[in-house]
């Protein structure tokens, strides 16, 4: 695609929420007004110092920011390539980066006078983060979750309920994230007067992709300051996994205008490259509209949204955030994929090398970092986003091991 590079990568989206040909707002008429109000409220809050201060203070005292930028010494030595640093989002309260966004949005909801919070969740991390901040402010909270995901993430379902949220199992479609988003949208349409819908990734209609990116950009802003302090220079390569794309854009965004910094987003390659076997939207996805935004979508020839698969629930979605679609077309960020088995192996390796048990989602980034390290020089620097911790995945991992043993006839 011949596209002229913009003078800055950080000026988008435009006022309609477009990232080049992607993004925008494709919603039923009834949602146009509420989305415009949300955009206006967000634009105002963004400029309001008291809002920013409240957010900053809670990120510090409640979430535990700044998260460390950790030098992975044994991993670096073992691979013999670049210096590898890990941005430790797994150390955020509740165990993943999701809370950076949930907290920002709950503050916004309060500012708008909303008393009820709803959310969708895949892996359950966004649901837990949202239930947590809703509890902190004493707000009602309902979380929609596909029944398949409820089964593979039972621990998080339990946590949400303990935190006072109502978890509603979704039985339509594939019973995963896409179906949970549809249910949450339906709820929002009926309850807009008192309800704010906290979307958990850089997805959905404008202003969500922009707003979620801005709230997650604290990751990249911290990482930038931290690497300058530790190494006195910018990193050569950033690596992050891409579900909807919020942890990745959060890390990448503050570096986008630094031409020397390369970036790779890692999608879920699942079990294979056939439609339905993976969630790698950039490998087989086509331009489409899903749940309010125009982007790369995995679909069949008739435009039916295809089934997806990943060992990690948090990467298992048919569409990618619209800003990533644009960054891919511009060539500013490269995208690749890692299959289930390689991610599970990387999870084991990082745990043993560094004493860090990453989330299965994050393990996709770690797996690619292991590959990439072999192509980089010793005097280079790589930062890997460790988007979350793997405690939630132990059941899924145990089941994976069991299936493997059975398959090998032992």
Ligand X SMILES: *Cc1c(COP(=O)(O)O)cnc(C)c1O
Q: Which residues bind ligand X (CB under 6 A)?
A: 96, 98, 123, 125-126, 201, 241-248, 314-315, 359, 361-362, 387-388
Task: Please report which residue ranges of 276-339 form alpha helices under DSSP H.
Answer: 322-330
Q: Which is nearer to ligand X, 72 or 376 (CB)?
A: 72
Q: Which two tokens stand for residue 269?
A: 């390659």
Q: Work out how close the CB of 122 gets to ligand X at its nearest, in angstroms, rounded to a whole number.
A: 6
Q: Work out how close the CB of 8 gets to ligand X at its nearest, in angstroms, rounded to a whole number.
A: 23
Measured from each CB, the residue nearest to ligand X is 388
387 catalytic residue (yes or no): yes
Q: Work out how close the CB of 123 gets to ligand X at its nearest, in angstroms, rounded to a whole number.
A: 5
Q: What distance in Å separates the CA atoms of residue 36 and residue 333, rounded to the nearest whole number?
A: 30
Q: Work out how close the CB of 94 gets to ligand X at its nearest, in angstroms, rounded to a whole number.
A: 10
Q: Which is nearer to ligand X, 280 or 376 (CB)?
A: 280
Q: Which is nearer to ligand X, 81 or 179 (CB)?
A: 179
Q: Work out how close the CB of 391 gets to ligand X at its nearest, in angstroms, rounded to a whole number.
A: 11
**Cβ atoms < 10 Å from Cβ of 290:** 22
11 catalytic residue (yes or no): no
Residue with tokens 């192509």: 375
**Cβ atoms < 10 Å from Cβ of 175:** 18
- CA geometry: angle at 257 spanning 252 and 258, to 5°? 85
CB-based contacts of 56-65 (< 8 A; 24+ apart in sequence)? 58/103, 58/107, 59/100, 59/103, 59/218, 62/93, 62/103, 62/136, 63/92, 63/93, 63/99, 63/100, 63/103, 64/91, 64/92, 64/93, 65/92, 65/100, 65/218, 65/222
Q: What distance in Å separates the CA atoms of residue 155 and residue 286, rounded to the nearest whole number?
A: 35
Q: Which is nearer to ligand X, 81 or 243 (CB)?
A: 243
The single residue of 175, 387, 392, 396 carrying the catalytic annotation is: 387
The single residue of 25, 83, 89, 98 carrying the catalytic annotation is: 98
The single residue of 89, 120, 183, 323 carrying the catalytic annotation is: 120
Q: Which two tokens stand for residue 235?
A: 């990193």
How far, CA to CA in Å, does 99 sit from each of 69, 162, 308, 373, 397? Answer: 18, 17, 25, 30, 24
Q: Which is nearer to ligand X, 232 or 355 (CB)?
A: 355
Q: Work out how close the CB of 193 gets to ligand X at its nearest, in angstroms, rounded to a whole number.
A: 28
**Where on the phi/psi map is residue 27: left (φ > 0), alpha (ψ -120 to 50), or beta?**
beta
Q: Which two tokens stand for residue 178?
A: 């896409």
**Residue 121: enclosing H or E segment and its boundaries?**
strand 116-121
Q: Which is nearer to ligand X, 89 or 277 (CB)?
A: 89
Q: What distance in Å separates the CA atoms of residue 31 and residue 130, rounded to the nearest whole number?
A: 22
Catalytic residue set = 98, 120, 387
């Amino acid at each position: 695609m011949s596209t002229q590079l913009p003078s800055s990568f950080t000026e988008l989206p435009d006022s309609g929420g477009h990232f080049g040909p992607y993004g925008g707002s494709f919603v039923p008429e009834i949602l146009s007004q509420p989305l415009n109000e949300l955009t206006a409220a967000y634009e105002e809050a963004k400029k309001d110092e008291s809002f920013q201060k409240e957010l900053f203070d809670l990120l510090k005292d409640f979430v535990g920011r700044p998260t460390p930028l950790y030098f992975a010494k044994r991993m670096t030595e073992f691979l013999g390539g670049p210096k590898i640093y890990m941005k430790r989002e797994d150390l955020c309260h509740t165990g993943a980066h999701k809370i950076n966004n949930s907290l920002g949005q709950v503050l916004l909801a309060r500012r708008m006078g909303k008393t009820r919070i709803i959310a969708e969740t895949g892996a359950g991390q966004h649901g837990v983060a949202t239930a947590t901040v809703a509890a902190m402010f004493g707000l009602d909270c309902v979380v929609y979750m596909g029944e398949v995901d409820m089964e593979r993430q039972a621990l998080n379902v339990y946590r949400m309920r303990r935190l006072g949220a109502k978890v509603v199992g979704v039985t339509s479609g594939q019973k995963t994230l896409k179906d949970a988003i549809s249910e949450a949208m339906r709820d929002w349409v009926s309850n807009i007067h008192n309800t704010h819908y906290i979307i958990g990734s850089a997805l959905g209609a404008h202003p969500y992709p922009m707003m979620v990116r801005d709230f997650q950009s604290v990751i990249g802003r911290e990482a930038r300051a931290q690497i300058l302090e530790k190494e006195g220079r910018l990193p050569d390569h950033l690596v992050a996994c891409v579900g909807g794309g919020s942890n990745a854009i959060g890390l990448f965004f503050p570096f986008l205008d630094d031409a020397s910094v390369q970036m790779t987003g890692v999608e879920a390659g699942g079990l294979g490259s056939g439609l339905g076997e993976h969630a790698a939207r950039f490998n087989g996805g086509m331009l489409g509209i899903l749940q309010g935004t125009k982007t790369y979508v995995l679909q069949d020839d008739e435009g039916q949204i295809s089934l997806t698969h990943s060992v990690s629930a948090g990467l298992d979605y048919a569409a990618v955030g619209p800003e990533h679609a644009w960054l891919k077309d511009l060539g500013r960020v490269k995208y690749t994929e890692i299959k289930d088995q390689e991610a599970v192996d990387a999870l084991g390796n990082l745990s043993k090398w560094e004493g860090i048990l990453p989330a299965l989602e994050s393990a996709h980034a770690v797996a690619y970092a292991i590959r990439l390290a072999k192509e980089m020089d010793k005097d280079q620097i790589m930062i890997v986003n460790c988007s979350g911790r793997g405690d939630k995945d132990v059941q899924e991992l145990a089941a994976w091991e069991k299936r493997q043993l059975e398959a090998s006839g032992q």
